[in-house]
Structure 1
Amino acid sequence: MIDEPLLEHIKSLLHMHSQGLLGGEIMPEDALINVISDDELLNVLTLGMSLNYQRDSYALWRSIVQAYMDDSTKWIFNPYTVSTSNIEDLHQALLHYRVALQSNRHPEIWKRVSEGITQSSITKDVLGLIESAEYDIAILKNIIQVKRKMEFPYLSGPKLFNYWLYVMENYGGIKWKSRELITIAPDTHILKATVKLGLCASDVLNGTTKDRQLVSEAWKKALMDSGVAPIDVHTPLWLWSRAGFPALQVPEGR
């Protein structure tokens, strides 16, 4: 049964987001808009997200834009080129603009993800990977989280995987089959907003894997049959928390 008060709060958040009332409406990935070419955007987004997001995401994407605009480092966003590259060359290119922060682990992950993409795609790029899965989230989930999990160490995790699906849709224009399978991506701001709305107890703020899974499942259950997909509330919740939880506003005419 749908919790009507919670649903009303969600509708208020969606309205406030659509009206630009939550502040900070520029999201980290917006740095790529009108900078990255359409035919390279999916590769840039995916490789950029392949590193652990435990850092300032705004700084990450600024670094990615700098590396992309420099002809000497732009090649790091081509999965096939990276998969056949010398690891030392990749190391230097990734660290030059601080796309990578960990000098050994991050270049190794970047190369491993690139190999996973090229080996799963006829065209050796992210679009080919998605096409091989027939735009079906269930098939893609099996590829990244099961069959080739070792090649996608961070991206295979539920938090980043679901947010990646959202970014592919929202920025890359991908039309997913069964988009209701995209669950919310519970980062720190989502955890705080979830507790603020009373959907979960404050214990989840510990942020363990179990806590994040609990929050994800709670949103899936709360929004079932509501007409709102869990991932659709991600950005409004994220901005609401980041703005310090301004008072919710009821849309006019209601």
Structure 2
Amino acid sequence: MINNLELKKQLLDIIKQYDDPHTALPEDEHPDLSKLSMEDSLRYFTLPMALDYRRDSYKLWQSAKATFLDPATNFVFKPEEVINLSVNDVQEALTKYKLAIQYNKQTEIWIKLCETLHNNYNDKVSELLATNNYSVMLLKKEMQKTNKKSYPYISGDKLFNYWLMVLKKYLDIPLQDIEKLSLAIDSHIVKASYKLQVITEEELNKYNSAKLSMRAWDKVLQETSIRAIDLQNPLWLWAKNELNE
């Protein structure tokens, strides 16, 4: 049984130790946001997120930045252009700096997201957010239930939650119910969940350990009054540094 008072103390210690603005996170690899429009910044932090699957996140965002800054490949961040080009043209741009490493599948994912933004939101991520009143729960309903197929991979539990955390952190998007975000669970945080006794050894070894971890953390955070957005990066960095084999 979890001792919430002891766990809260451990989590606050982790936040204190690893909530360091000088510690490089993957998404710190971005263009100068002061020189970009809000829409360009939103697209930058949204489209590559869907390709963050079983890969080094630091390398992903290095590739995203290189692709964005190259005039020959920057068009992939413009849905209105992507939808009018051939798959080969889009694939060539996405793979030039290894932004897409699964050439066919990840090109299809990128194009699908661009089609969704173009057809439903006038090419704008800002309209996706505004249409859903900047609400975590409304966005979750739209992207994970009502129209899930329109948002490949970014609709998954891990990426959906982390995407919104990134938008809040870097662009200060005014999310109305930010406390409804869940932790974005990857293999590092699953290990941390077991280390902190948030999940059992049996749950750790189950195929759906990430889902079980997310549910357990939802309950823990509610009871300890710690927000997922405040714990996410410190916990990830702690797990990555302390629990790597």
Q: Report the Cα distance in structure 1 between the residues aligned to 2:81 and 2:112, rounded to whole angstroms.
A: 12
Q: Report the Cα distance in structure 1 between the residues aligned to 2:18 and 2:206, rounded to whole angstroms.
A: 25
Q: Is 1:160 aligned with 2:159?
A: yes
How far the C-alpha of 1:63 sits from its partner, in A, is 0.9
Q: Cα gap change, 1:206/1:164 in structure 2, threshold over 3 Å: closer, same or farther? A: farther
How far the C-alpha of 1:2 sits from its partner, in A, is 7.1
* 8 A contact 1:162–1:183 mirrored in 2: yes
Which is richer in helix?
2
How far the C-alpha of 1:56 sits from its partner, in A, is 0.8
One-letter amino acid matched to 1:86: S
Query: What's 1:181 paired with?
Result: 180
* 8 A contact 1:100–1:107 mirrored in 2: yes
* 8 A contact 2:52–2:60 mirrored in 1: no
- Gap runs ≥5 in structure 1: 247-254
How far the C-alpha of 1:242 sits from its partner, in A, is 1.4
**What does 1:236-247 correspond to in 2, within 5 Å?**
236-244=234-242
* 8 A contact 1:188–1:207 mirrored in 2: no
Q: Is 1:195 aligned with 2:179?
A: no
The size of the alignment, in residue pairs, is 241
**What does 1:38-49 correspond to in 2, within 5 Å?**
38-39=37-38, 40-49=40-49
How far the C-alpha of 1:188 sits from its partner, in A, is 0.9
Query: What's 1:59 paired with?
Result: 59
- Gap runs ≥5 in structure 2: none
Query: What's 1:79 paired with?
Result: 79
Q: Is 1:172 aligned with 2:171?
A: yes
How far the C-alpha of 1:137 sits from its partner, in A, is 1.4
Please give the secondary structure, in 2, of the residue aligned with 1:191: helix
TM-score normalised to the size of structure 1? 0.88
One-letter amino acid matched to 2:116: G
TM-score normalised to the size of structure 2? 0.91
Query: What's 1:211 paired with?
Result: 209
Q: Cα gap change, 1:195/1:205 in structure 2, threshold over 3 Å: closer, same or farther? A: same
Please give the secondary structure, in 2, of the residue aligned with 1:224: helix
Q: Is 1:88 aligned with 2:73?
A: no
Q: Report the Cα distance in structure 1 between the residues aligned to 2:64 and 2:118, rounded to whole angstroms.
A: 21
Q: Report the Cα distance in structure 2 between the residues aligned to 1:55 and 1:220, rounded to whole angstroms.
A: 26
RMSD of aligned Cα (Å): 2.1
Query: What's 1:10 paired with?
Result: 11
Q: Report the Cα distance in structure 1 between the residues aligned to 2:20 and 2:76, rounded to whole angstroms.
A: 37
